[in-house]
Amino acid sequence: MSQTLSTDVLIVGGGIAGLWLNARLRRLGYSTLLVERDSLGGGQSMKSQGIIHGGAKYALHGALTGASEAIADMPRRWREALAGEGELDLRGVRVLSQSHYLWSPGGLAGNLTSFFASKAVRGRVDQVKGSDLPQALQNPKFKGKVYRLAELVLDVPSLIKRLAELAGDSLLAANNIAPLLQDGELCGLLIDGMQVHAKRIVLTAGAGTADLLAGLGISQPAQQLRPLHMVLAKGPALKPLYAHCLGGGPKPRVTVTTHPAADGQWVWYLGGDLAEAEGVARNESAQIKAAQQEMAGLLPWVDQTATQWATLRVDRAEPAQSGLLRPDNAFLADQGRLLVGWPTKLALAPDLSERVCRALQRDGIQPGQHAPLPPLKRPPLAQSVWDELLP
């Protein structure tokens, strides 16, 4: 006879969204179990640039929707957690930069007039010069303008490690996940032959959510994938830079974050418009060449001679939107006992957990009494993509 467990909330997906939700519910007194098929953070989370967006880049479009303005409070919530004073205690997580920057290589772009007038950045942006510039831009040849945004950048591996610590004994590595039915209704999941009953099941598995829904015989909500072709560069001449570089359009020309490699060198992780559309269509060598030309044009004083390059294809999973529009807020859909969520961005993990908590309160789901969990096989932590691709 198979082993049977019970819990208040069963979470499937061990990225930052699932781990944050798990830690939040445990702090509220709920019994939880988080199931992960691979490694913790090994999907989209470890491929994130670690930026805690506050809505600034959406203002480059000239206007903000109500949904995108909702992201403006995220940096505050993360900062409180990092100080041990928020909904989670994230003390010990490494902050790579206290600010993200907006960088115009020439004069200010015309679309910045509306940018500086938007609610998302009003009072939270200031111009920096001289020694206050990011290290990579402190060169006499730099002629652009730089504005500091109230958006911090985190070291994602240390964040995943801390969230895994907050999970205690609630993490379970599994291979096979199937629906567990009672009287024809979903009552839990069959996990590697073990019956797990739960008051609510939450899917936070990113791109894996579509397959999980199919396995449960559910077609909605639908998922869309947004492909990116990111570029990584590691070399002794690289200095820290955390910035959106402006182009002529509403999107950042390139978004740069800098991450510590295991050998002590810095790695530039390049996204933005470089990684979209045309970047997705390029093969690896063409994408690297485009990135080399872009960075050489923007930062000609950086010696690229000893720099190693690699690319990484990422499929960002989101709820399907008409015309593949980008969702600007966390998404949660009810399917009876099943809740399906996509945070859509790392920064919105607290927002997704808040939506789940409200759904539990609405349905009268309170912490219950459950037998202690037996010793469980724990999923491993994912390796950072820069150390994997640029050893």
What are the pLDDT digits (tens) for 24-47? 999 999 999 999 999 999 999 999
Which of 72-81, 241-250, 361-370 comes out lowest in average pLDDT?
241-250
**Residue 119: what pLDDT?**
46
User: Radius of gyration of the chain from Cα atoms?
Assistant: 22
For residues 68-86, average pLDDT: 86
- Indicate if the pLDDT at residue 240 is higher than 70: yes
The crossing angle, in degrees rounded to 10, of helices 349-362 and 74-82 is: 90
Q: Average pLDDT in the 166-177 region?
A: 95
Asked whether residue 371 carries a pLDDT value surpassing 60, the answer given is yes
Confidence bin at 57 (pLDDT 50/70/90): low
**What share of residues in the chain are helix, strand, coil (percent, to 5)?**
30, 30, 40
What's residue 124's pLDDT? 61
pLDDT at 56 over 80: no
Would you say 275 and 268 are in contact if contact means Cβ atoms under 8 Å apart? no
Which among 103, 19, 102, 94 has a CA at the least distance from the CA of 50?
94
pLDDT band at 201; cut points 50, 70, 90 = very high
Report pLDDT for 44: 92
pLDDT of residue 344: 81
Cβ atoms 351, 331 nearer than 8 A: no
Residue 110: the pLDDT is 44
Q: What is the mean pLDDT of the chain?
A: 89
Q: What is the mean pLDDT of residues 285-313?
A: 96
Per-residue pLDDT tens over the stretch 323-340: 545 556 789 999 889 999
Q: Is the per-residue pLDDT at 374 higher than 90?
A: no
Region 302-306: mean pLDDT is 93
Task: Identify the CA nearest to 119 among candidates 165, 164, 78, 66.
Answer: 66
The single residue listed with the structure tokens 């485009």 is 290
Q: Is the model's pLDDT at 120 over the cut of 70?
A: no
Model confidence at 217, pLDDT cuts 50, 70, 90, reads confident
Phi/psi of residue 161, nearest 5 degrees: -60, -45
Cβ–Cβ under 8 Å, residues 190 and 327: no
Kindly indicate the confidence band of residue 189, based on its pLDDT and cuts at 50, 70 and 90: very high
Residue 168, pLDDT > 50, answer yes
pLDDT of residue 118: 47
Nearest Cα neighbor of 149 from 90, 93, 75, 79 is: 75
The pLDDT of residue 343 is above 90: no
Contacts of 375 (CB under 8 A, 6+ apart): 169
